[in-house]
Amino acid sequence: MASSSSNLISLKTSDGTVFKVERALAKTMKTVQAIIEEADANIYMIPIHNVFSHHMDMIIDYYKLSVAGKSKEFSVEKLDNDELKDFLLAVHYLNMEDLFEVLTQAVADRLEKKSVGYVRKYFGIENDFTPEEYAAIRKKNDWAFKGDDIEPEEDEEKQEE
């Protein structure tokens, strides 16, 4: 805490890039903050696994916007679904509350009307229902599937099993 360059924290991403970030930004990353607090001596460089430099770029963008009161202008539209998932996991690792909320909303929006097969793939979920179990649970909650225009991929799923 008494180091001379105490305003900037160095973070090293998985791909080896070093980012010098403001202490205030580092504070929003609870994982990083915990590392800083636990360190006995001054810590020069904090490695952040699972976080790549393109993630840090977006994190810094978000931080700048939220400091200016414009966090609503932050958009992840240009990320495809996998990039968004990746980013969500990075932000989860860093334990950044606000940005995590923004990204979970974005993921939810994208998954909302997707088919069962798509969502399984996205989350990496293995279908452990037997065809009978699947049919039973689908029938029981049939009311939740009414009035939709979701592609009925369930039939394809059953055939794969």
Partner 1 sequence: MKRQKKSETDRLSDLPDHLLLHIIEFMITKYAVQTCVLSKRWKNLWKSLTNIKLLYHFDRYNGDILVNKIVSHILSSRDNFVPLHSISYVNGCRIWHDVFPFKTNILAEIMEYAASHNVQQLEIDTQTDHIRNLELPPSIFNCDSLTSLTLSLRDVYKSNTKMFPKSFNLPALKTLKLVCFTFFTGDNGYAEPFSTCNMLSKLVIYTCNLQDDAQGLCISNSKLSNLAIGTSNSHSNIHKLILSTPKLTSLTIDGIPPIFPAPSTCNLTLFEELKFDCLDGDTMGEDIFISWLHLLAKIKIITLSFKILKLMVNILKNNSSMRAQLPSFVKLKSLKVEAYPWKCDERIREMHAHHLFFFFFIFFFFNVNYDANNGASSSTIAISSPSKPSVQNPKPIIKDIF
**92 scored as a contact of partner 1 (CB under 8 A):** yes
Give alpha helix (H) positions in the chain: 23-27, 30-38, 53-67, 81-94, 97-111, 116-123, 131-140, 154-160
Residue 29: name the closest of 86, 108, 98 by CA: 98
Q: Which of residues 93-122 bind partner 1 (CB under 8 A)?
A: 104-105, 107-109, 111-113, 116, 119-122
Nearest-angstrom CA–CA distance, 90 and 99:
11
For the bound state, the minimum distance from the C-beta of residue 5 to partner 1, rounded and expressed in Å, comes to 33
Burial class (CB in 10 A: 0-12, 13-18, 19+), 159: exposed
| Binding status of residue 127 toward partner 1 by CB under 8 A | yes
158 binds partner 1 (CB under 8 A): no
Kindly state the number of chain residues that form the binding site for partner 1, as judged by CB under 8 A.
Answer: 37
Residues that bind partner 1 (CB under 8 A): 82, 85-86, 88-89, 92, 104-105, 107-109, 111-113, 116, 119-129, 134, 137-138, 141, 143-147, 150, 154
